[in-house]
Amino acid sequence: MKRRILLVAALAGVLAAPFAPSAAFAKTYKVGVTPGTHEQVMEFVKPRLAKAGVDIQIVSFSDYVLPNQAVSDGDLDMNSFQHQPYLDNQVRDRGFDLVSVGKNFVEPMGIYSKKIKSLDQIKDGDSVAIPNDPTNGGRALLLLQKFKLITLNAGAGLTATPIDIAENPKKLKIVELDAAQLPRALPDVAVAAINTNYALEADLVPTRDALAIEAADSPYANIFVVKTKDKDAEWVKKLVEVYQTAPVREFILKTFKGAVVPAF
């Protein structure tokens, strides 16, 4: 009788095992995001992750500086706010042992204004605001070059800075500001190159309000970032898998009406 009880108990354990929560998912994982698009999409994903056994806490940051440091320090388990060129620059300059584990979406950068209706109306000596971090600043300068407002030195690349400007026929004054402050600076400058997450937060719709915008094939797809040692963790794979599904793609397209483009 005792042997039969043990056999039944063992069998019950085998049958139950596939449905038991994985030990890898036993904690709540902290995921850092910036307000707006990244936070909205992650909030949509959160209950779907819970059904898959992954519990996350979403932590919102108002700047681009802290989220990578927080992952490096162990205060976050993952972040979702940046593109690959920005991560590469941070790894090179600050020595972070961080890596991308997948893509989420592209937020095309746009040029906005409260003073003019067309880039043709920019006057000599006007001020143009761009993000003050190396990769988004370079991205903005490339966008200005695309629309023939400036010309950059050959080989300036994705991390171009104002000193790489070779030709500036209108003698535009380049004003470098924190990316989150750019929408508030619009009354004080002729135009500003603003990342989509901060534009949407300021009720600026890229497809409606931008005087110029990056093409959909922009190389600046946003990514999920973790410590290198965690890149193969099962919870990381599950989070990316759940995020990169049709319902999430449809949510992005419907919610942001083309201003945000899924990269999966």
- What is the model's pLDDT at position 25? 72
- What is the model's pLDDT at position 5? 37
- What is the model's pLDDT at position 53? 96
246, containing H or E segment = helix 246-256
**What's the CATH class of domain 110-213?**
alpha beta
Q: Where in the chain is the domain with CATH 3.40.190.10?
A: 28-107+220-262, 110-213
**In this structure, which topology does domain 28-107+220-262 adopt according to CATH?**
D-Maltodextrin-Binding Protein; domain 2 (3.40.190)
Question: Residue 214 in contact with residue 168, Cβ under 8 Å?
Answer: no
Residues of the chain with pLDDT under 70: 1-24, 216
Could you tell me how far CA 223 lies from the centroid of its own chain? 6
Q: Could you tell me the maximum CA-CA distance found in the chain, to the nearest angstrom?
A: 95
- What is the model's pLDDT at position 218? 79
For the whole model, what pTM was predicted? Answer: 0.77
CA atoms of 48 and 46, how far apart (whole Å): 5
